[in-house]
Amino acid sequence: MSKLFKKVHGTPFRARYKYELLKDEFLDVNILKTHLEKIECVTSVRINKKASSIIFTFSEDITAKIESILGNLTKDELLSNCQDAAVCVSCVSDEEPSISGIVRASSALVSERFIQNDLLKATLTTTAAAPMLIDGTKELFEEGLTSKVLESAAVGISIYRKDYLAANSTNAMLELGEYIEETTVHKSDDLLKELSKPNVKEAWIEKEQDGKLVEVLVNTEEIQIGDIVVVGAGSTIPVDGHIMDGNASVNQVSMTGEAEPVAKTRGDRVISGTVIEEGRLKIWAEHVGADTATQRIKHYIENSLNEKSSVQLKATKLADKLVPVTLGLAGLSYVVKRDFERVASILQADYSCALKLATPVAFKSTISKAGHQGVMIKGAKSIEALNSADTFIFDKTGTLTSGELEVISVESYDEEWSEEDVLNLTASTEEHYFHPVAEAVVKAAKQKGFVHMHHEEVEFIVAHGVKTEVDGKSVVIGSRHFLEDDEKIDFSQHKDKINKSLDNGKTLLYIGFDGKLLGTIGLADDLRHNAKESIARLKELGVKNIVMLTGDTQKKAEMIANELGIDEIKAQLLPKDKARIVKEMMEEGRKVAFVGDGINDAPALISAHVGISMSRGADIAKATADVSLLKDDIAAVVEAKELAKNTMSLINSNFNATVGINSVILAGATFGLFSPIVTAVLHNGTTIGLLLNSIKGVKVK
């Protein structure tokens, strides 16, 4: 039995498994569910990610096949192109809508005018309409009353009445309308498909051979975290990571929408899918394979194509409920007027097409437009949640601030240690980490002639700091909570100095050595230049509350809040407090959007109605977010909110127009004002117009 899964319960037509892949934070259950639903004879799949559980129901015993798939499935396979038609993920179809139906129906319409024999006319018309009549009959028995059933009935009635002109005209108009509708929907899928970046098949990495570093060409699937990937001019970067060596001009337009190439050097972060225009880089691979930005985009696309929003489900339900209304009016009209022509007209005046198609097309258009602007939105539900969000919670560092810290002071609390020694000790311990604090410390040390201090292996404690040993004595570096509460280091002797630094607005990094507080390093993180403007724009878009979460002192938090126009602050927080505060505000009835970028932000991003991750943040934050920004700009949060608001406004206007216009058409057909041909033209014209309006999408300022 594979270690990847364990069968915990089973009956002849149902089985429940514990599945290890569900413990992966980066896995989207919608993609997995769609993949498993494609297994032949599987009738339903239910996934509980928290319990790492999958429940299958099936029409015949196929547990062996299911277990084979579960045992061999990988996350990379889920995000790769479909290869096995029997169990493939429902990728975007490359098949273009066929024009054959239009040709067949139009040929019959023209030819019928030159034929005198009624039997030949009937044969020609029935043959041309046969595909529609057959599809309508099948759908009647498989799905009940639908718009296709009504349209087929309208054409069938015209043939029965020997009104071949009406039958062929209606058939031709319906085929033309269906072709345009399919083309429009296909185009909306193409818009999303444009976001999918081509996979880089091969890459150069540094490897040690015979005591020398050489560059070796490997398949990108072989790249491991920690490998040094070498990328030259004209090549696409295959991994997400940090630059270890080199300088380059990187074109990021395909990922962030930035038109101008960006200069990159050591310490800078680069993302897969971007292209080096000039220069050469050696990149430390931080995220590879299915965890890279390009694969995450494919993950978002797959999710976007499969997901149905509540408004979309509402439109579908309404459309289905209105089908019997149309049929009822047709029946009533026949009872009163005994006029089959009027019945044929009424049966075509259906709401279904416009209601069911315009909404998903609008969502896909917005997701595509946002993606080209460097804003990845995970499906229609995320757009709905973002539109309704009335409270935006910002985790201060990396969102309202740039996240680019600068060392502005170093203090030593031990006469035997100079300020330079304290800085060198800290830089030596932190130099292999790409955290903003570590980068700032290393940069400051190098500017002052960095002298490396030998230390033992470094232990990284998430959201707290680092630990190591120097000359057999412990070194702990990190937050006050980490040193004072967890490591029990006494702060009392230096409280006045620490408070003075905090009152001056400094962010402090604390250094402990041999069980004592050795010193502090003061850092500053500037507010983003457009943070105040972005907050003001959010309020203009209807956001009622802007909340800032920070570990800073209350005094410093209040200074920032007053400067930016923030409504509420929660200061002196620990990382674990964020998710609790989000849940509390949600329990108050607020619709919460959380904006963060750190590893410890993931619980809050998941808890909120909509989570938004900044581009420089930890990848786990991006994986758990509903909206992931690929450009380092707080204005992108505003763009996402505005796109969501405008999209829902467009969908609502389309919805109202569909109901209003089609009601007028239905009334006209019921009172005999429209012939079947006119009704077909008006009905399909309305649907096509609304679809084109949806695919045109929305604009942002």
Mean pLDDT score, 58-77:
82
Q: Is the dihedral of CA 189, 191, 195, 199 positive or negative?
A: positive
Mean pLDDT score, 87-95:
41
How many angstroms separate the Cα of 545 from the Cα of each of 542, 566, 592, 604?
Answer: 9, 8, 9, 17
Q: DSSP letters along 227-261, please?
A: -EEEEETTPBP-SEEEEEEEEEEEE-HHHH---S-
Catalytic residue among 189, 395, 525, 619: 395
Domains of the chain: 5-87 (3.30.70.100), 100-193+300-357+651-696 (no CATH), 202-235+239-291 (2.70.150.10), 406-524 (3.40.1110.10)
277: pLDDT strictly greater than 50: yes
Q: What is the pLDDT of residues 361-377, one digit of tens each?
A: 888 888 888 887 888 88
Reply yes or no on whether 395 is catalytic: yes
Residue 545's pLDDT is what?
95
Q: What is the pLDDT of residues 532-581, one digit of tens each?
A: 999 999 999 999 999 999 877 788 888 889 999 999 999 888 777 888 99
Cα–Cα dist 395/613, whole Å: 10
CA atoms within 13 A on the CB side of 124: 22
83: pLDDT strictly greater than 50: no
Residue 172's pLDDT is what?
83
Cα–Cα dist 190/595, whole Å: 30
Of 88 and 339, the structure prediction assigns the larger pLDDT to: 339
| Tokens representing residue 71 in the block | 């045992």
Cα–Cα dist 303/291, whole Å: 16
Of 76 and 212, the structure prediction assigns the larger pLDDT to: 212
Q: What is the pLDDT of residues 616-643, one digit of tens each?
A: 665 555 666 788 887 888 999 999 999 9
Q: What is the pLDDT of residues 503-518, one digit of tens each?
A: 777 889 999 999 999 9
Residue 48 pairs in a beta bridge with 53
Q: What's 66-91 look like in SS3?
A: HHHHHHHCCHHHHHCCCCCHHHCCCC
- Candidates 23, 39, 21, 40; CA nearest to 79 is 21
Of 336 and 253, the structure prediction assigns the larger pLDDT to: 336
Q: Mean pLDDT, the chain, as a whole number? A: 82
Strand order in the sheet with 592-596: 375-377, 627-629, 610-613, 592-596, 391-395, 545-549, 568-570
Of 33 and 318, the structure prediction assigns the larger pLDDT to: 33
Cα–Cα dist 537/549, whole Å: 20
Q: What's 609-632 look like in SS3?
A: CEEEECCCCCHHHHHHCCEEECCC
Percent pLDDT > 70 in the chain is 85
Quick check: 537 and 638 in contact, CB under 8 A? yes
- pTM here? 0.64
| Tokens representing residue 53 in the block | 């559980």
Residue 618's pLDDT is what?
55
Residues 6+ apart with CB under 8 A from 100: none
Q: Which residue type, as a one-letter code, is found at position 557?
A: A
The dihedral region occupied by 374, where left means phi > 0, alpha psi between -120 and 50, and beta the remainder, is left
Residue 92's pLDDT is what?
41
Mean pLDDT score, 44-54:
84
CA atoms within 13 A on the CB side of 418: 5
> What's the N-to-C CA distance of the chain in angstroms?
57
Mean pLDDT score, 72-85:
55
Helix (H, G, I), strand (E, B) or coil at 453: coil
Q: What is the pLDDT of residues 470-508, one digit of tens each?
A: 999 999 999 888 999 999 999 999 999 998 888 777 889
